[in-house]
Amino acid sequence: MPLDQYNRDIDYLRISLTDACNLRCVYCMPEDMTFRPRHELLSDDELRRLITLFGSLGFRKIRFTGGEPTLRSGLVDLVRHATSTPGITTVGLTTNGVLLDKLAQPLRDAGLQTVNISIDSLDEDKFRKLTRWGNLRDVRAGLDAAARAGLRVKLNAVVCRGVNDGPDVIELARLTLANPWQVRFIEQMPFGNNSDFQTKGMVSEAELVALLEKTFGKLELVNDGKLDGEARLYRLPGAQGALGFISPVSAPFCAACNRMRLTADGVLRLCLLRDNEINLLNHLRGGASDQVIADCIRGAVHEKPWGHGLAQHLIPAARGMSQIGG
């Protein structure tokens, strides 16, 4: 496995397939968002080449993200390539679920193992307010299709103060009582032009745990608090599933970070909340050999920063969340 300068194993690559999305979530992007033209994004061939290279360098896990990755017409073939790449052992997808109803089974047949579905509220009006024009029924249909296809399911909810930080959290948590899913509550993180809204809207893990314990009783801490990826896990009394809390602001997990991010326009981002980036697209289209690109990736891994600078009020400004891939 590739090691960074702090001796962390960096073996997880999140690949953004597009910056475009069919929703406009209030914490993610403005309603009148302009997306990059297709020719500025990595092609399917370029993505396949990079996936093969990352596998050869010791990366073991790949997650396809967006924007909204199901908008990418070659998604199923890219998943098939990733699952057949030597070295890659786990391939997942993060999606808003709107198009998953038709794609879940083809993706599973291509080898996809896990799917994370964004769903911030089970209330139709609240869901539409948060996504600006989303239809909750589409997401529920995608969730049902994923479960039928045998995909491991996690649900992601970004909690916004004063919007979905009360009954919505309780009802989402209740899903774990009868389903073997992980429902994950994610703290808002500040990015660029939306940082003021995101900072004021952040609801901490401690607040959410206190809220849930008032309703369900004492939560059971799973694995003695050891992180599952980036999530600290709890379980409701008698629940089949688990609750995950992803708390990069109130409880940073930088010491355990093992991931890099490849943006849709071919930039390797070293930390989600830092603007350190290495442009791989220029190498690909400039005729660089696999060895040159591999050396570039190794160098980027080595230079991965220890952690974000939120405590020092350093706010990433170069890209919004949808332009990075989360």
Domain count, the chain: 1
CA dihedral angle for residue 285, residue 51, residue 15, residue 59, rounded to 10 degrees: -130
Q: Is 321 annotated as a binding residue?
A: no
Could you tell me the CA-to-CA distances from 211 to 80, 156, 204, 217 in Å, in that order? 42, 18, 11, 10
Q: What is the pLDDT of residues 276-296, one digit of tens each?
A: 899 999 999 999 999 999 999
Q: Is 28 annotated as a binding residue?
A: yes
Q: Is residue 1 part of a domain?
A: no
Q: Is residue 4 part of a domain?
A: no
269 touches 326 (CB < 8 A): no
Listed range (188-192, 281-285, 316-320) with the worst mean pLDDT:
316-320
Q: Is 298 annotated as a binding residue?
A: no
Q: Is 73 annotated as a binding residue?
A: no
Domain span holding position 90: 12-324
Hey, which residues does 118 pair with through a beta bridge? 156
Q: Is 1 annotated as a binding residue?
A: no
Q: Is residue 95 part of a domain?
A: yes
What's the mean pLDDT in 81-86?
A: 98
Q: Is 160 annotated as a binding residue?
A: no
Nearest 5°: the CA angle 45, 117, 280 is 30
Q: Is 67 annotated as a binding residue?
A: yes
Q: Is 254 annotated as a binding residue?
A: yes
Q: Is residue 5 part of a domain?
A: no
Residue 252 pLDDT more than 70?
yes
Q: Is 257 annotated as a binding residue?
A: yes
Q: Is residue 202 part of a domain?
A: yes
pLDDT above 70 coverage of the chain, percent = 92
Q: How confident is residue 326, by pLDDT bands cut at 50, 70 and 90?
A: low
User: 182: helix, coil or strand?
Assistant: strand
Q: Is 21 annotated as a binding residue?
A: yes
Q: Is 271 annotated as a binding residue?
A: yes
Q: Is 27 annotated as a binding residue?
A: yes
Q: Is residue 109 part of a domain?
A: yes
Q: What is the pLDDT of residues 236-251, one digit of tens each?
A: 999 999 999 998 888 8
CATH number at residue 105: 3.20.20.70
Q: Is residue 240 part of a domain?
A: yes
Q: Who wins on pLDDT, 236 or 203?
A: 236
Q: Is 161 annotated as a binding residue?
A: no
Average pLDDT of the chain is 91
In single-letter form, the type of residue at position 5 comes to Q
What's the mean pLDDT in 118-124?
A: 96
Which stretches of 122-226 are DSSP H helices?
Answer: 124-131, 136-149, 167-178, 195-201, 205-216
How many other C-beta atoms lie within 10 A of the C-beta of residue 143?
23
- Give the whole-angstrom CA distance, residue 133 versus residue 304: 37
**DSSP state, 274?**
S
